[in-house]
Amino acid sequence: MAHMNRYTAKKDFPVSQVRRFLEPGPIVLVSSKWKGRTNIMTMGWHTVMEFTPSLVGCVISSGNHSHHIIRGSGECVINLPTATLTDTVVKIGNTSGAEIDKFREFNLTPDKGELVGAPLIRECHACFECRLYDDALVDKYDFFIFEVVKAHAAATPKYPETLHYTGDGVFMLSGKTISRKGLFRPGML
Protein backbone atom coordinates (compact mmCIF):
# COMPACT_ATOMS: atom_id res chain seq x y z
CA MET A 1 0.00 0.00 0.00
CA ALA A 2 2.73 2.43 0.93
CA HIS A 3 4.28 1.83 -2.44
CA MET A 4 0.98 2.35 -4.25
CA ASN A 5 0.55 5.69 -2.53
CA ARG A 6 3.83 7.09 -3.70
CA TYR A 7 2.08 9.60 -5.92
CA THR A 8 -1.23 11.35 -6.56
CA ALA A 9 -2.52 12.32 -9.97
CA LYS A 10 -1.81 15.98 -10.74
CA LYS A 11 -4.03 18.62 -12.28
CA ASP A 12 -3.20 21.74 -14.22
CA PHE A 13 -2.23 24.58 -11.92
CA PRO A 14 -2.09 28.28 -12.89
CA VAL A 15 1.49 29.29 -13.66
CA SER A 16 0.92 32.74 -12.16
CA GLN A 17 0.29 31.11 -8.76
CA VAL A 18 3.36 28.92 -8.33
CA ARG A 19 4.44 31.25 -5.49
CA ARG A 20 1.97 29.24 -3.38
CA PHE A 21 4.49 26.36 -3.46
CA LEU A 22 7.82 28.12 -4.03
CA GLU A 23 7.68 31.27 -1.89
CA PRO A 24 7.74 29.30 1.39
CA GLY A 25 11.25 28.21 0.38
CA PRO A 26 11.19 24.43 -0.03
CA ILE A 27 13.97 22.24 -1.29
CA VAL A 28 13.11 21.27 -4.86
CA LEU A 29 14.32 18.67 -7.32
CA VAL A 30 15.34 19.99 -10.73
CA SER A 31 15.06 17.51 -13.57
CA SER A 32 16.62 18.04 -16.97
CA LYS A 33 17.38 16.33 -20.26
CA TRP A 34 19.86 16.94 -23.03
CA LYS A 35 21.10 14.77 -25.86
CA GLY A 36 19.04 11.84 -24.63
CA ARG A 37 20.35 11.84 -21.05
CA THR A 38 18.36 12.91 -18.01
CA ASN A 39 19.48 14.21 -14.66
CA ILE A 40 18.08 15.35 -11.30
CA MET A 41 19.58 17.73 -8.76
CA THR A 42 18.54 18.97 -5.32
CA MET A 43 18.24 22.75 -5.08
CA GLY A 44 17.54 25.17 -2.24
CA TRP A 45 18.66 28.50 -3.66
CA HIS A 46 15.69 29.87 -5.59
CA THR A 47 13.20 32.73 -5.49
CA VAL A 48 10.00 33.75 -7.19
CA MET A 49 10.69 36.87 -9.28
CA GLU A 50 7.42 37.71 -11.06
CA PHE A 51 3.80 36.50 -11.32
CA THR A 52 3.27 37.15 -15.05
CA PRO A 53 5.33 36.03 -16.80
CA SER A 54 5.85 33.44 -14.07
CA LEU A 55 9.55 33.87 -13.30
CA VAL A 56 11.76 31.91 -10.89
CA GLY A 57 15.44 32.63 -10.29
CA CYS A 58 17.77 29.78 -9.23
CA VAL A 59 21.42 29.30 -8.45
CA ILE A 60 22.72 26.15 -10.15
CA SER A 61 26.45 25.86 -9.62
CA SER A 62 28.64 25.18 -12.63
CA GLY A 63 30.06 22.33 -10.54
CA ASN A 64 26.75 20.52 -11.04
CA HIS A 65 26.25 18.27 -14.05
CA SER A 66 22.75 19.81 -14.34
CA HIS A 67 24.19 23.27 -15.01
CA HIS A 68 25.51 22.19 -18.38
CA ILE A 69 22.42 20.16 -19.31
CA ILE A 70 20.12 23.07 -18.52
CA ARG A 71 22.23 25.66 -20.26
CA GLY A 72 22.51 23.41 -23.29
CA SER A 73 18.83 22.47 -23.50
CA GLY A 74 17.43 25.76 -22.16
CA GLU A 75 14.87 23.82 -20.15
CA CYS A 76 14.19 22.07 -16.87
CA VAL A 77 11.39 20.98 -14.56
CA ILE A 78 11.22 22.20 -10.96
CA ASN A 79 9.62 19.42 -8.89
CA LEU A 80 8.33 19.77 -5.33
CA PRO A 81 9.11 16.75 -3.14
CA THR A 82 7.40 16.15 0.19
CA ALA A 83 8.85 14.77 3.41
CA THR A 84 8.22 11.17 2.35
CA LEU A 85 11.05 11.65 -0.15
CA THR A 86 13.54 13.07 2.38
CA ASP A 87 16.19 10.36 2.04
CA THR A 88 15.89 10.41 -1.74
CA VAL A 89 16.32 14.19 -1.78
CA VAL A 90 19.55 13.87 0.21
CA LYS A 91 20.89 11.03 -1.91
CA ILE A 92 20.15 12.92 -5.14
CA GLY A 93 22.10 15.87 -3.74
CA ASN A 94 25.04 13.67 -2.86
CA THR A 95 25.55 11.94 -6.20
CA SER A 96 26.41 13.12 -9.71
CA GLY A 97 24.37 12.51 -12.82
CA ALA A 98 27.66 12.26 -14.68
CA GLU A 99 28.08 8.86 -13.00
CA ILE A 100 24.59 7.43 -12.48
CA ASP A 101 21.05 7.51 -13.91
CA LYS A 102 19.24 9.10 -10.98
CA PHE A 103 15.73 8.14 -12.09
CA ARG A 104 16.73 4.48 -12.15
CA GLU A 105 19.02 4.61 -9.11
CA PHE A 106 16.37 6.22 -6.90
CA ASN A 107 13.33 4.46 -8.34
CA LEU A 108 11.66 7.64 -9.61
CA THR A 109 9.28 7.77 -12.57
CA PRO A 110 9.93 10.20 -15.44
CA ASP A 111 6.70 11.56 -16.92
CA LYS A 112 6.56 13.38 -20.21
CA GLY A 113 6.21 17.16 -20.05
CA GLU A 114 3.74 19.03 -22.22
CA LEU A 115 5.94 21.93 -23.25
CA VAL A 116 9.50 20.92 -22.42
CA GLY A 117 11.62 17.88 -23.11
CA ALA A 118 12.82 17.55 -19.52
CA PRO A 119 10.97 14.85 -17.55
CA LEU A 120 8.57 15.47 -14.68
CA ILE A 121 9.14 13.44 -11.50
CA ARG A 122 5.87 11.61 -10.91
CA GLU A 123 6.47 11.04 -7.18
CA CYS A 124 6.61 14.79 -6.46
CA HIS A 125 3.62 16.85 -5.29
CA ALA A 126 3.95 19.46 -8.03
CA CYS A 127 5.96 19.87 -11.24
CA PHE A 128 6.73 23.14 -12.98
CA GLU A 129 7.88 23.01 -16.58
CA CYS A 130 10.43 25.76 -17.15
CA ARG A 131 12.18 27.45 -20.05
CA LEU A 132 15.36 29.44 -19.58
CA TYR A 133 14.18 33.07 -19.77
CA ASP A 134 17.32 35.08 -19.05
CA ASP A 135 20.90 33.90 -18.66
CA ALA A 136 22.40 37.36 -18.05
CA LEU A 137 23.75 36.36 -14.61
CA VAL A 138 24.69 32.75 -15.35
CA ASP A 139 28.36 33.40 -16.07
CA LYS A 140 28.88 35.63 -13.05
CA TYR A 141 26.64 34.02 -10.40
CA ASP A 142 25.36 30.70 -11.87
CA PHE A 143 21.98 32.43 -11.59
CA PHE A 144 19.32 31.21 -14.05
CA ILE A 145 16.00 32.99 -14.55
CA PHE A 146 13.33 30.55 -15.71
CA GLU A 147 9.80 31.08 -16.93
CA VAL A 148 7.33 28.51 -15.64
CA VAL A 149 5.40 27.71 -18.81
CA LYS A 150 3.22 24.89 -17.48
CA ALA A 151 2.40 23.82 -13.92
CA HIS A 152 0.97 20.58 -12.53
CA ALA A 153 0.02 19.97 -8.89
CA ALA A 154 -1.76 17.37 -6.81
CA ALA A 155 -5.06 18.80 -5.51
CA THR A 156 -4.54 17.41 -2.01
CA PRO A 157 -3.17 18.01 0.51
CA LYS A 158 -3.56 21.75 -0.03
CA TYR A 159 -0.41 22.42 2.00
CA PRO A 160 1.93 19.45 1.55
CA GLU A 161 4.65 18.72 4.09
CA THR A 162 7.73 20.20 2.44
CA LEU A 163 11.45 20.14 3.24
CA HIS A 164 13.40 23.33 3.98
CA TYR A 165 17.16 23.08 4.23
CA THR A 166 19.10 24.84 6.99
CA GLY A 167 22.56 23.48 6.17
CA ASP A 168 24.65 20.97 8.12
CA GLY A 169 22.39 18.06 7.13
CA VAL A 170 19.36 19.47 8.95
CA PHE A 171 15.95 20.03 7.35
CA MET A 172 13.05 22.01 8.72
CA LEU A 173 9.68 20.45 7.91
CA SER A 174 6.79 22.76 7.07
CA GLY A 175 4.45 23.15 10.02
CA LYS A 176 0.91 24.36 10.46
CA THR A 177 -0.65 27.14 8.40
CA ILE A 178 -2.36 30.23 9.80
CA SER A 179 -4.46 32.78 7.95
CA ARG A 180 -4.23 36.51 8.48
CA LYS A 181 -6.35 37.29 5.44
CA GLY A 182 -8.51 39.64 7.50
CA LEU A 183 -5.52 41.90 8.17
CA PHE A 184 -4.68 42.41 4.50
CA ARG A 185 -5.80 45.30 2.39
CA PRO A 186 -7.69 43.77 -0.57
CA GLY A 187 -5.12 44.87 -3.13
CA MET A 188 -2.29 43.27 -1.13
CA LEU A 189 -3.55 39.69 -1.25
Q: Which residues bind a second copy (CB under 8 A)?
A: 17, 19-21, 23-26, 44-50, 55, 57-59, 86-87, 90-91, 93-94, 134, 136-137, 140-141, 143, 145, 159, 161, 164-185, 188-189
Q: How far apart are CA 112 and CA 5, in angstroms?
A: 20
Q: What is the DSSP letter of 100?
A: S
- Residues 52 and 157: their CA atoms lie apart, in Å, by 25
Element (H, E) at 103: helix 102-105
21 vs 128, which CB is nearer to a second copy?
Answer: 21
Q: Of all helices (H) and strands (E), which one includes residue 121?
A: strand 120-121
CB nearer to a second copy: pick between 76 and 113: 76
Q: How far is the CB of 149 from a second copy (least distance, A)?
A: 18
Q: How far is the CB of 150 from a second copy (least distance, A)?
A: 19
Q: How many residues does the chain have?
A: 189
**Nearest distance in Å: CB 173, a second copy:** 4
Write down the least CB distance from residue 84 to a second copy, Å.
12
Q: How far is the CB of 162 from a second copy (least distance, A)?
A: 8
Q: Give the type of residue at 167.
A: G
What span, in angstroms and rounded, lies between the C-alpha atoms of 31 and 69? Answer: 10
Shorter beta-carbon distance to a second copy: residue 58 or 119: 58
Q: How far apart are CA 26 and CA 49, in angstroms?
A: 16
Query: d(Cα 47, Cα 162) in Å, to the nearest integer?
Result: 16
Among residues 20 and 131, whose Cβ is nearest to a second copy? 20
CA 124 to each of CA 16, 69, 187: distance values in angstroms, whole numbers, following the listed order: 20, 21, 32
| CB of 35 or CB of 181, closer to a second copy | 181
